[in-house]
Each structure stands twice: as C-alpha cells, then as structure tokens.
Structure 1
C-alpha cells in the first residue's frame, strides 16, 4: 500500500508537472509564431536599415536596394521580397512611399538583376520610379551586374541613369504571348503518375462544356482559330507599342530604331551602351563613385541598405516555418512557370527556372 501511495503520488506530481510544461510549450509556440509573423510580415518592406559605408553622422543619405529575380506584382503569402529571389512591385511602391519621409535623402541606388516579369508588375515598378522622382526630385540610379532584360528594362528606363558591369546582358525589348500546343490526331496518352497508358482504336475524343466563343482557348485538343491568334497578337502589339514608347521616351532613342534595329535581341554591356540602352559600363563601385560625385556628396554621405528582417526568433529557430516556406516557394515557382507559359509576359527567354 505504501509503495502504491508513493507511485500514485509520483504519477500525480509528474502529470501535473508535465501538464504545466506542455502548457508553457504551447504558449511559447504561439508566442514564437506571432513574433515571427509580426517580425517578417508587418511592413518588412522598409523597417530595417543597415549601415553600409560613409560617415554615420552625415546628413546626406543614400539608400541602396538589392533586387534580384522575376518581377511580380505581389506575394500571395505576404512574404517580403527580401526573403526570396523575386521582386515584388507592390513592395517597391511601399518602400518609395516610406522613403519620401526621409528629409536627408539625396539619392537611391538600385542594384538589380532581373529577366523581366509580368506586364502589370514591370509597369508598376516603372511608374513607381517615375512617380517618386517627380514628387521628391530625388534621383534614382540603376546598376546591373548580370542581367537586365525585358520587363527589367521596362522598369529600369524610368531611372535617371543606368549602369552595367562589363559582361552584363541588357535588352530583350519585346512581349511574349502564352504558349499553345495541341495534340494533332492523338492515339495515345501516357501519364507520369503510375505510368498509366491510355489508347483506343478510334483515337482519343475530348469533350468540355463551356459558354462563350473561345472560352476553351488553349484547349490542347484543337487548333487555335485565326480569330484567336489575331486577338492575342493584337494584345501583344498593343503592349509592345507601349514598351517602345516608354523606352524611346526615357532613353531618347527613336522608336523606329528600337523596333527595326534593336528588336528583342539581348546585348552585352558595351553594345548596350553604343545602342543607348545604358549610360556607362562600370562595375558597382565605379558606378557608386560616379553617382556620389554627381550628387556632390563624395566626401560626406552615409549609405544605408534595406536588409532582411531577421528577428531573434527567426535567427535562432531557422527551421520553425521550413515546411510552410517550402510549400510557399513551390507555389511561387509554379506561379512563375504559369506566367512564362500561359500569360502575356515580359519574361526573357534567357531566364531559366525549374518548370
């Protein structure tokens, strides 16, 4: 009986202690979750400024933005573009809005490598650059180390000057329509899942209900009609015309020359300068020196960059949300694949992904 009482008392004490510890762990997990969400997703587009170089006490502020990847409008999961190899135009707009409040700001340098992106996102990026400079009279400068193509060019031409490192690729001024292929008299379909084969004596017949002419556009079991081809081509030509106007206006290049001579080819940095697409072939440090000199602050400035918002939670628990983020990036890559295949886009063919 004594042993039984001792064991009963032990298990009772243990269960209470375990219950308390479990409750504390649940509370801690909830705290970590909200801390991480708040730290990462609440206005992360601007909150963290990191000193890069210069005089910390200087009143002449220069902001550096490092951007890389395709240009999309926004993140469906509210993850900042600093956490991915994606440029979100909505985040850029928020950053510029916040920077308008910086009374000591003298200029912005955007270091960017981009293959382009969607039409709406590239245009929004461009309009944000134009609007900021017109409102504040503060110049924005662009530098690329490797690639500035298609929608990246659309956005970049809004800046006061564009610099590129030797060997960088610039250009691809064109618009790409959605891909459309169809099966020409198919007799068999093989699916990857479990290697299932489908075959019939009379061939494969496809049925789909829809209302509205061309509602089944991109149907893989029929040819496109001439009307559909013409409609898509007209959209492409309309967007391309705006692209030409934007580049011509901002780079002071004749529209006819862009259409007939530059085309949608991509050029090395030296050729891009000769053709007027960029201002100088300089590496980043040389470009920075030229920019600071142009702003008359070479000997008195401080440069700050926007950094990824890594709070103490995300620093010490890097795998806390790994499954969630892995799923997010898979969806993001699928989104880019769909954009490159099915949307009218300004995404260069020089860009490769995991599609």
Structure 2
C-alpha cells in the first residue's frame, strides 16, 4: 500500500521531508505505527520512507526528527549507512532535529546529517556501548534450581545469567564492547570534524549532555525549534531551491487516516521499551550489544 503524503506547512512545489526516528532503534517488528499502520521496525520504516523520497523529483531536503535513546548496534549502523547512501544518490542535504532525547545509537545515526539542531531541552550524547546483564546463579542455587545446559564449548553460553563469568569470558566480552566502541568513536570523529580528537575522546565516555552543553563542546551545531530547522535546512550547502519556491512544503508519509495539523503531531515507529527481564537476559535474544542510553 502506497503511503499518503501529508503537508505540515508551506505551499510551493519544492518539498522538505520530515522522517521520524523514534523509540528503541532495532530491526524488531512490533505492533503498528503511523507510517504503515501495521507491524514494522524502525529500520524497515526508515528504509521504506527513503525509497519513496528517492523517487520524488521535487524533494529538496530531509529533516530527521529524532527522539530515541538509541538501540542495537547493527540497526543503528545500517540506518546511518542508508542515510549516507541516500544523500550520495539523491544529492540533497539532511538535517537532524533532536527532540527530547537523541542519545547513543540515535546520535550515531545523526552523524549522517549535515547539521545537528537540538531543542533547548534535548538530552544527547551517551557515546558508548553497553552489554546489559545480571547474574542470578546464587539466587537460583538457594531455591534448588540448577542449570543443566549442554554445550559444545565453555564459551558457548557466555553472558548467561545462570552462571558466573570467568575472568577470561569477561575479557572476551570486554574486547567486543571495546571494538564496537572504536567504530562508534570513528563515526563520531568523522561527523564532528571540528572537535579535536583528544577533546572528543574525553567527551565520548558514555556521559549525556544538555543541548547547551553539547553546543559548547561542538557535539551539535545549533539550538532551536522546528521553524528554525526549516530555515537552517534551506540554507545548507546542497539545498537547490527552484526559482519562486521560497516557501517549500514540509511533508511526511503516512497511512493513518488522521491528518496531523502541526509538526509535533508527527510520530514515527515507537516500539515498547523492553521489559526488565528482556533487558537483563531473559528475552528471546539474551546477549545484545547496544548503542543505547539505558541507566
């Protein structure tokens, strides 16, 4: 089913697409969203919207409306790459507008943008990797529950909440986390070239920042609101305005019947937050490496 294009503001032929990236970033399919009205994931939703945008001859730019604490390492990386490839083929600028939260994997994705604009109350940063988990072995031992898993090697169940990590296993997992962090750091270094590498290394320790703090450290380019985002986008290098199109239409894609009246009604795919049990190791995927702010 082809989505309906809806206009938020503007009246001219030129268009600026608002592409929402909200909630936990992953390739997990959950129940409906305003874009498809059916099961989908953040990853597939972004990919699908970019494919429609690619075919629009009147598209002049994209605004990523980001409100996310991050998510899985792979989904964050794929979306980052998809946006870079879109820019390369479509030759249009992309601006990232941070809403409440644009942390970790969401910040990673924003490195594909040409300009980062944060709301005055945005929380961002959290540059780092986490592998969440707890150990319940002692508690289960006390009530007589034993793990009887059969495995082919001592590291086959590494990270299981049912057994203690050995020092060697901890070293193994730390090596993976460090390697994934190195990739994150390189992506941010490429995206924030005005920040000295030494300074960036100090900032990229997992801490979060307010909008004004991020601006001070060079982690964002500006602070403002939706109207500012449209104005800044039209001034970005690569924005090719058609003569007489000084008031471009700001649009988004949707299958929903309701028609939002303002930019702030636009919602993307926002899956439910993982439950505590899912986060600590009892979900379908026990061990997950995350680019996610998750205190």
Aligned to 1:321: none
- TM norm structure 2: 0.81
For 1:250 and 1:187, the matched residues in 2 are separated by 49
For 2:191 and 2:141, the matched residues in 1 are separated by 53
Aligned residues: 272
1:344 aligns with 2:289: yes
Runs of 4+ in 1 over 4 A off after TM superposition: 83-87, 332-337
Give the 3-state SS of the residue equivalent to 1:71 in structure 2: coil
1:256 aligns with 2:201: no
Aligned to 2:182: 241
Q: How does 1:138-217 map to 2 (within 5 A)?
A: 138-184=92-138, 188-189=142-143, 205-217=146-158
The Cα of 1:131 is off from its aligned counterpart by 0.6
For 1:296 and 1:135, the matched residues in 2 are separated by 15
For 1:86 and 1:148, the matched residues in 2 are separated by 21
| Higher RCO (C-alpha under 8 Å, 6+ residues apart) | 2
For 2:53 and 2:42, the matched residues in 1 are separated by 17
Gap regions ≥5 residues in structure 1 = 1-41, 190-198, 312-328, 351-355
For 1:118 and 1:213, the matched residues in 2 are separated by 26
Please identify, of 85-94 and 150-159, the stretch whose mean Cα deviation from structure 2 is larger: 85-94
Maintained 8 Å contact 1:118/1:339: no
Rg comparison, structure with higher value? 1
For 1:274 and 1:170, the matched residues in 2 are separated by 13
For 1:296 and 1:98, the matched residues in 2 are separated by 19
For 2:59 and 2:120, the matched residues in 1 are separated by 29
Q: Counting helix residues as a fraction of each chain, which structure ranks higher?
A: 1
1:126 aligns with 2:67: no
Give the 3-state SS of the residue equivalent to 2:128 in structure 1: coil
For 1:207 and 1:238, the matched residues in 2 are separated by 32
Q: How does 1:69-108 map to 2 (within 5 A)?
A: 69-75=23-29, 79-80=32-33, 82=35, 83=37, 88-108=42-62
Aligned to 2:68: 114
The Cα of 1:336 is off from its aligned counterpart by 9.1
Aligned to 2:284: none
- TM norm structure 1: 0.69
The Cα of 1:256 is off from its aligned counterpart by 3.4
Q: How does 1:216-227 map to 2 (within 5 A)?
A: 216-227=157-168
Give the 3-state SS of the residue equivalent to 2:220 in structure 1: coil
Maintained 8 Å contact 2:34/2:256: no
Deviations 1:300-340 (A, max 9, x none): 312211224349xxxxxxxxxxxxxxxxx99x655896357
Q: Do the aligned partners of residues 296 and 48 (structure 1) sit closer, same or farther apart at CA in structure 2, a change above 3 Å counting?
A: same
